[in-house]
Amino acid sequence: MRDWLNTDASHQTVMKELGLASLVGKDLKSHPNYKRFREFLSKREDKRMKAMIDDAVSTASVWKRFHLEQLPETKRKTSKAFKYYVRYAKMYDNEIFRNEWYSFYSRPVVYYGGTPKEMFVKVGIWAEAKRPNDYVKACLELEYASKKTLEANPYYKQFLSLQNKK
């Protein structure tokens, strides 16, 4: 699999090498190599997302590229584009969180902001990841905010609410 990832092999090439090229539907999904193929696709997507993070592609630009703002919430949450966005946003956030104190030079660019709908999705990601309050305040540019300002901020309020549900 490493060779396929390092050479950025196409999914058709990998399917052929795994003996899946002529299969469809149930035959494809029941083949013993199908799981390995799905693993390849996931790792290839991870590699591409990591490259996007290294290139400072913000979560907001991914949100915008997939037109997630225009989708009704019910359709948005079940769309492939939204699932891709959430996966990317989690990876982006993990990179920031992991590198925050360790390496100034390899830290991804922290992008503050997004549309209100996107910000509420990010808040959910931070709550799910159990991010510390100070980290979330920094991401919301509220590190030095007064108690009154914190209480008035809809994103921080939502974060605290989601935190308390867990």
Walking along the chain (166 residues) 10 residues at a time, the average pLDDT comes out as: 84 90 92 93 93 92 96 94 97 86 54 87 95 91 93 96 83
Same domain, 72 and 41: no
* pLDDT for residue 110: 65
Same domain, 100 and 152: yes
* pLDDT for residue 156: 96
* pLDDT for residue 155: 95
Same domain, 85 and 161: yes
* pLDDT for residue 5: 87
Contacts 24+ apart (CB under 8 A), 134-141: 135/97, 135/100, 139/96, 139/110, 139/112, 140/112, 141/112
pTM of the model: 0.85
* Domain contains 78: yes
Same domain, 66 and 41: no
Burial 146-164 (b: 16+ CB within 10 A, else e): eeeeeeebebbebbbebbe
Q: Which domain holds residue 28?
A: 1-45
Query: What's the structural domain count of the chain?
Result: 2
Same domain, 19 and 69: no
Same domain, 33 and 92: no
* pLDDT for residue 150: 95
